[in-house]
Structure 1
Amino acid sequence: MKQMVKIIRKVDVEKQYERILRLELDYELASLFEAMQVKDEAEMEKSKKRLKEIQEELESLFAYE
């Protein structure tokens, strides 16, 4: 029974982490769009880098499903 509760908690934590990553993804896409509007190269690169990191984190989450 304890093992079952542990598994359920792990799944809940992973789902919550995924939701947080997706919110970050939306934020970074908005930031990238804004940086593109004002042609801020530094901010565009920063957003692209963070988007790549988020993508890798999401991929690693789904690799264990």
Structure 2
Amino acid sequence: MKQVIQSLQRNEAEKRIPVLKMEIDYELATLHDAMIASDKDGMVKCKDKLEKLRQEMIRLEA
């Protein structure tokens, strides 16, 4: 049973990683726009979101 659960978790991680990469790309583009516009609040929000996405990516790849 443990093997089945581990297999399912691995499958979910493999499906989530490409979506997560797209989310990171989008947030980087949003951060770039905020930097160009000198939007301090937008930059902080994007950086926070990117940090959360980075941590999730590390967990999935481990």
TM-score w.r.t. length of structure 1: 0.80
Cα RMSD for the two superposed structures = 1.7
- Tell me the secondary structure at the aligned position of residue 46 of structure 2: helix
What is the percent sequence identity of the aligned residues?
31
Q: Give the aligned length.
A: 61
Question: Which 4+ stretches in 1 moved above 2 angstroms?
Answer: 2-6, 9-12
Gaps of 5+ in 2: none
Greater radius of gyration (CA): 1
Cα shift readout 1:9-64 (whole Å, capped 9, x = no counterpart): 4333211111111010000000000000000000000000000000000011122x
Gaps of 5+ in 1: none
TM-score w.r.t. length of structure 2: 0.83
